[in-house]
Chain A
Amino acid sequence: MKLRLELPERFPVDDIYAKLVALGSEKTDRDARQAVAALALLLINHIGDVDVIDEAIEIVQRLPSTDS
Chain B
Amino acid sequence: MTDQRKDKQNPIRRGRRPLKLGNFVYPQYDYRPLADDEAQAVKRRPVVVVGAGMVGLTTAIDLARKGVRCVLIDDNDTVSAGSRSIAQARRTMEIWSRLGCAEPMREKGISWSRGHTHHRDDTVLSFTVFPEGGSRFPSFTSLAQYYVEHFLVERARTLDHLDIRWLNRLSGVRLNPDGVELTVETPDGTYRMQADWLVAADGAKSRVRSALGLAFEGDRLQDKFVIADVRCGADFPFERNYWFEPPFYDGNSVLRVPQSDSIWRIDWQIDPTADTDSELAPDLVRQRLERMLGEDTDFEIEWVSTYTSEHRLMDSFRHGRVFFAGDAAHQFSPFGGGRGGNSGIQDADNLAWKLAAVIQGRAAERLLDSYDAERRPIAERNLADSKKSTEFITPKSDHSWGFHDAVMNLAKVAPFAKSYVNTGRFAVWPVLENSPLSLPDSEGFADLARPGTPVLDCPLLSADGQPAWLADQIGDDFTVVTYGPTPAGGAALLSALSAAFPTRSISIGAAGASDEGHDFRDVDGAFARLYGAEPGTTYLFRPDQHVLARWRQFDSARIAVAVRRTLGLIGIGLNGIGLEQEKAR
Whether A42 touches B399, Cβ cut-off 8 Å, given contacts A33-B405, A37-B405, is: no
Residues of A within 8 A of B414 (CB): 42, 45
Whether A37 touches B398, Cβ cut-off 8 Å, given contacts A42-B410, A42-B414, A45-B416, is: no
Q: Mark A34-68, 1 if CB is under 8 A from B, else 0.
A: 11111011100100000000000000000000000
B429: interface (CB < 8 Å): no
- Please determine whether B410 and A30 come into contact, CB atoms closer than 8 angstroms: no
Please report the C-alpha to C-alpha distance between residue A7 and residue B473 in the assembled complex, in whole angstroms.
64
- Residue from A29, A33, A35, A41 in contact with B407 in the complex, judged by beta carbons closer than 8 Å: A41
- Residue from A30, A40, A42, A45 in contact with B405 in the complex, judged by beta carbons closer than 8 Å: A30
Whether A30 touches B407, Cβ cut-off 8 Å, given contacts A41-B417, A45-B416, is: no
Residues of B within 8 A of A45 (CB): 414, 416-417
Please report the C-alpha to C-alpha distance between residue A40 and residue B416 in the assembled complex, in whole angstroms.
13
Residues of B within 8 A of A37 (CB): 402-403, 405-407
Please report the C-alpha to C-alpha distance between residue A35 and residue B549 in the assembled complex, in whole angstroms.
51
B420: interface (CB < 8 Å): yes
B210: interface (CB < 8 Å): no
The smallest beta-carbon distance between A53 and chain B, in angstroms, is 13
Name the CB-closest residue of B to A33. Answer: B402
- Please determine whether B402 and A34 come into contact, CB atoms closer than 8 angstroms: yes
- Please determine whether A29 and B420 come into contact, CB atoms closer than 8 angstroms: no
Q: Mark A13-43, 1 if CB is under 8 A from B, else 0.
A: 0000000000000000111011111101110
- Please determine whether B409 and A38 come into contact, CB atoms closer than 8 angstroms: yes
A-B pairs with CB below 8 Å: how many?
38
Residues of B within 8 A of A29 (CB): 398
Please report the C-alpha to C-alpha distance between residue A36 and residue B401 in the assembled complex, in whole angstroms.
12
Please report the C-alpha to C-alpha distance between residue A33 and residue B399 in the assembled complex, in whole angstroms.
7
Interface size, chain A (Cβ < 8 Å): 13
Residues of A within 8 A of B405 (CB): 30-31, 33-34, 37
Interface positions of B from 388 to 421, Cβ below 8 Å from A: 398-399, 401-403, 405-407, 409-410, 414, 416-417, 420
- Please determine whether A36 and B420 come into contact, CB atoms closer than 8 angstroms: no
Whether A30 touches B398, Cβ cut-off 8 Å, given contacts A38-B409, A38-B410, A41-B407, is: yes
- Residue from B398, B401, B420 in contact with A41 in the complex, judged by beta carbons closer than 8 Å: B420
Residues of A within 8 A of B406 (CB): 34-35, 37-38, 40-41
Interface positions of B from 75 to 98, Cβ below 8 Å from A: none
Please report the C-alpha to C-alpha distance between residue A18 and residue B571 in the assembled complex, in whole angstroms.
74
- Please determine whether A41 and B410 come into contact, CB atoms closer than 8 angstroms: yes
Please report the C-alpha to C-alpha distance between residue A40 and residue B405 in the assembled complex, in whole angstroms.
13
| Most B CB within 10 A of own CB, among A30, A33, A40 | A33
Residues of A within 8 A of B416 (CB): 45
The smallest beta-carbon distance between A42 and chain B, in angstroms, is 7
- Please determine whether A36 and B402 come into contact, CB atoms closer than 8 angstroms: yes
Please report the C-alpha to C-alpha distance between residue A42 and residue B413 in the assembled complex, in whole angstroms.
11
The smallest beta-carbon distance between A23 and chain B, in angstroms, is 12
The smallest beta-carbon distance between A16 and chain B, in angstroms, is 19
- Please determine whether B402 and A30 come into contact, CB atoms closer than 8 angstroms: yes
Name the CB-closest residue of B to A31. Answer: B405
Please report the C-alpha to C-alpha distance between residue A31 and residue B401 in the assembled complex, in whole angstroms.
10
Please report the C-alpha to C-alpha distance between residue A1 and residue B550 in the assembled complex, in whole angstroms.
39
Residues of B within 8 A of A36 (CB): 402
Name the CB-closest residue of B to A36. Answer: B402
Please report the C-alpha to C-alpha distance between residue A41 and residue B554 in the assembled complex, in whole angstroms.
51
Please report the C-alpha to C-alpha distance between residue A38 and residue B242 in the assembled complex, in whole angstroms.
22
Q: Mark B50-73, 1 if CB is under 8 A from A, else 0.
A: 000000000000000000000000
Name the CB-closest residue of B to A32. Answer: B402
| Most A CB within 10 A of own CB, among B406, B409, B410, B414 | B406
Name the CB-closest residue of A to B416. Answer: A45
Name the CB-closest residue of B to A29. Answer: B398
The smallest beta-carbon distance between A44 and chain B, in angstroms, is 9
- Please determine whether B403 and A41 come into contact, CB atoms closer than 8 angstroms: yes
- Please determine whether A34 and B417 come into contact, CB atoms closer than 8 angstroms: no
Please report the C-alpha to C-alpha distance between residue A42 and residue B398 in the assembled complex, in whole angstroms.
20
Please report the C-alpha to C-alpha distance between residue A34 and residue B403 in the assembled complex, in whole angstroms.
6
Please report the C-alpha to C-alpha distance between residue A31 and residue B398 in the assembled complex, in whole angstroms.
10
**Given A33-B398, A33-B402, 6 other A-B contacts at CB below 8 A?**
A29-B398, A37-B406, A37-B407, A38-B406, A41-B403, A42-B414
| Cross-chain pairs A/B with CB under 8 angstroms, 26 sampled | A29-B398, A30-B402, A30-B405, A31-B405, A33-B398, A33-B399, A33-B401, A33-B402, A34-B401, A34-B402, A34-B405, A35-B406, A37-B402, A37-B403, A37-B406, A37-B407, A38-B406, A38-B410, A40-B406, A41-B407, A41-B417, A41-B420, A42-B410, A42-B414, A45-B414, A45-B416
Closest 3 pairs (CB-CB, A-B): A33-B402, A37-B406, A38-B406
